[in-house]
Amino acid sequence: MTLAASSPIPVTVLTGYLGAGKTTLLNRILTEDHGKKYAVIVNEFGEVGIDNDLVVDTDEEIFEMNNGCICCTVRGDLIRIIDGLMKRKGRFDAILIETTGLADPAPVAQTFFMDDDVRARTRLDAVVTVVDAKHLKDRLEDSPEAEDQVAFADVILLNKVDLVDAAELAAVKLEIRAINPYARIVETERCKVELDAILDKGAFDLNRILTVEPDFLTDDHHHHDEDVRSISLKAGELDAEKFFDWIGKETQAQGAKILRLKGIMAFKGDPDRYVVQGVHMLIEGDHQRAWKDGEPRESRLVFIGRELDWDALKSGFESCRV
Amino acid sequence: MPSTIDLAFGAYVVGAEFLGARPIFALGDGTVRLGDDPTAMRTVFAHEGGILAASLTLDQKALVTSGDDGRVVSIAADGTVTLLAEKKAKWIDQLATGPQGAVAFASGRMAWVRTADGKLLEFPHDKAVGGVGFLPKGLRLATASVDKAMLHWVTAKGDPVELGWKGGHTGVTASPDGRFLVTTMQETALHGWRIEDAKHMRMTGYPAKVKSISWSTKGRWLATSGANAAILWPFVAKDGPMGKSPMQLGPMPKLVTRVACHPSEEVCAIGYEDGLVVAVRIPDQAEVMLRQPSGEPVTALSWSPDGLRLAVGLESGRAAVIDIRD
C-alpha cells in the first residue's frame, strides 16, 4: 500500500452567489443527521453559527504556479488545510469547501488537478452551485462570476422556486441549460433537499452527459446574449492517439476560454469506457468501467466556455473518428 | 544489529522527538505520548483537536505543539502542559522554536513570536504565511509567503527585508551560519537567497514537493526529501550550492518522505514512503538499514541528542525507537 492507494476522501465544492441560500444549505449539512461527518472549509466563519471542531475558517489564497501559466492558479490555503486534515484522517468522511459568493470557481477546481498531494488524497466529488430562481437572470447579466459558477457546476440547486411561477421557472431552467447542459438541476425551497441527492455523487454525473443532445446549442438555439456557451459533441469509436493529440493541442490553444470539459470516450480496441474532464488547460482522464453488452459504444464530449471556436472543436473532434 | 522498540498509537504521527533520553510523540488526535515502553506510555492531552505541528525547544527540555484548536502549548519531560498562546478559531499549522525560548507560529496571514517573558509580537503579512523560522541568533524571524520570503526584526526596530521569488513558499530555514535562507515551495523545488546580497539560488529537479529538510552537523549540507533519494545540497563554499550538483544518498525506487541529519556525525537518517528507514554516512555513502518497509509513509524522524537512538513516526500511528548501537 502506498499513499495513493489509501482511499481518497470525497470533496464537495459549494458555490453560489450572495443571497442564493448557500449558508442555509451549509447549516443544514452541519446540523442534520445524515450519517456522515464533514470537515467544512468556510470563508466567512461568522455566518456558520455552529461550534464544530471540524469547521475551518480560511482566507482564499490564490496564487499562480511558477510555470507562468495563467490558467494554473490554485488555492494555497486549501492545499495547507487538506494537508492538515489528513493528520486527522478517520475523524471525518468527506470534505465540504464553501467559496465566497464572488469567487471564480476555477482556482478551487484547479487545485484538485494541480497539486499532487491533494490529488493523491482526495477526489473532487462535485461542484454544487446554489442559485436563486427569482434573481438568477439578473445575476447572469451583471456578474461573470455568477455565470462561471453555473458553468462549473455538476449539480445546480435551483432554490427559492416558490417565489416564481411556472413560466419563470421554465425560463430560468432554460438559461441554466444554455450555459451548462450537463449539470443536474435540483429544484428546492429554502434549500430543502435530500442531502444524498447532492453529496457524494461520485466524480460527476455521467448519465447527464449521455442524455445531452448533441449540438444542443448552435447559433439558432441561442436564447440570450450570454457569453458562456457549451457544445456537446457525439461520435462513435475514436482513435485514442488522434484524440489525445487533438485534445492536448485544443486545451493548450483555447485553454483560457474553456471553463470545463467532460466526456466519455469509446476508443477503438479498448474494452473500457474512458472518462475525461478538464478545467481550462488542465485535463485528466481514466478508465472508468467496461462497456456493457448492448451498450452503444459512443463517444460524448461537452465543452463549456467563452468565445470558443465552436466549429473548430466540432471538426477536430470528428477528425478523431476511427 | 540495531535494536528496535515498536509502538502503536492509532493516530498520524506529526512529530517524533527526544526530551533528553525520553522519546516524545505528537499525534494527529491531539495527544502527546511520552516514553519508550509500550506497556507504560504516558498520554498527555495537549490539544482538543489535532496537532498540526511540533517543534523541540533548542534546550531540548520541552516539545512545543500547535493545533487546530488555536493553542500553542509546551510539554515537558514530566508531562506538564503549559499554554504559551491561544488564538481562538485559528488553525496554527506553522511553528518554529528559536533561541532564548522564543516560539514563532502562524495562521493565515499573521505570524506571531512569543518571547520567553510571555510577550506576544505580531507580524502581519499581505498573503498567507507558509512557514516560520528563526535566524541563528534569534534576532530575526524568517517567514515564507506567496511570491517572497521575509526577514523581520523580532524586537529591534527596523523594516522587514523582502526576498522575492514568484510562487508559493511553504517553509523556511536559515543555514546554521546565518548566511543563507532557503524556502520549500509549492512547486517541486527549493529556493534560496544569500542574505547579504539577496543573490538567488535555484534548487530544482525534484519529482515531488520537498516537505522535510535537515541541516547536517556544522551546516555543511542541507538534506531534503522529495526525490527517490535524499538530496543533499553543499553549503560549505562561499556561494553555497550555486553551480554545484547535489549529492544523492540512499537511492531507492521509492520516494523519501523524511530526512534527519545526525547531531554530531556526518550521517543522515532517511525515511521513505513505504516505512523503510536507513542511515547513510555522508562522506562514503555507507548505508545501514534501520527499519523494514511496512507499507506506509514515514511522517516523523529525529535523532536523540546523544545520536545513539532514532525516533520514527508513521502515517498510520505506528512508531519506533531504534537504538543503533550493536
Q: A–B: how many Cβ contacts below 8 A?
A: 86
Please tell me which of the candidates B52, B167, B274 has its beta carbon nearest to residue A2. B274
Residue A91 is predicted with a pLDDT of: 86
ipTM of the prediction greater than 0.85, yes or no: yes
In this structure, the dihedral spanned by the alpha carbons of residues A175, A102, A124 and A152, taken in order and rounded to 10 degrees, is 20
The answer to whether residues B304 and B16 touch, using CB atoms and an 8 Å cutoff, is no
pTM to 2 decimals? Answer: 0.89
Would you say residue A220 has pLDDT above 60? no
CA-closest candidate to residue B317, choices B296, B303, B301, B302:
B296
The vertex-A211 CA angle with A210 and A214, nearest 5°, equals 85
B52 at the A interface (CB within 8 A)? yes
Q: Which of residues 237 through 266 in chain B touch A, CB cutoff 8 A?
A: none
Residues 6+ apart with CB under 8 A from A10: A93, A94, A95, A122, A123, A125, A200
Asked whether the beta carbons of residue A2 and residue B295 sit closer than 8 angstroms, the reply is yes
**Given B12, B48, B274, which is nearest A89 (Cβ)?**
B12
DSSP, collapsed to helix, strand or coil, labels residue B170 as strand
In whole angstroms, how far apart are CA B80 and each of A69, B64, B65?
A: 51, 12, 13
Which residues make Cβ contacts (< 8 Å) with residue B36, sequence separation at least 6?
Answer: B5, B7, B22, B23, B321
pLDDT at A226: 58
Residue-wise pLDDT tens digits, B186-229: 999 999 999 999 999 999 999 999 999 999 999 999 999 999 99
pLDDT means over runs of 10, chain B (326 residues) = 92 97 97 96 95 97 96 97 94 96 96 97 95 97 97 96 94 97 95 96 94 97 98 92 93 98 98 98 96 97 97 97 92
Torsion, Cα B85 B88 B92 B98, to 10 degrees, reads -10
Q: Of the segments A19-28, A220-229, B193-202, which one has the largest average pLDDT value?
A: B193-202
pLDDT of B111 reads 98
pLDDT digits (tens, 9 = 90+) for A88-120: 888 899 999 998 888 888 899 889 888 889 988
Q: Does the pLDDT at position A204 exceed 60?
A: no
Put simply, whether A223 touches B (Cβ < 8 Å) is no
Least CB–CB distance from A65: residue in B29, B127, B186: B186
- Quick one: pLDDT at residue A205? 55
Grid cell digits, residue B134 = 528563526
Q: Does the pLDDT value for residue A43 go beyond 90?
A: no
Put simply, whether A115 touches B (Cβ < 8 Å) is yes
- Contact between residue B107 and residue B87 where contact means Cβ atoms under 8 Å apart: yes
- H helix or E strand, kind and range, residue A209: helix A206-211
Average predicted confidence (pLDDT) for chain B: 96
Phi, psi for A220 (deg, rounded to 5): -70, -15
CB-nearest partner of A63 from B93, B168, B296: B168
Task: pLDDT band for A207, please (50, 70, 90 cuts).
Answer: low
At B15, list the grid cell. 512529530
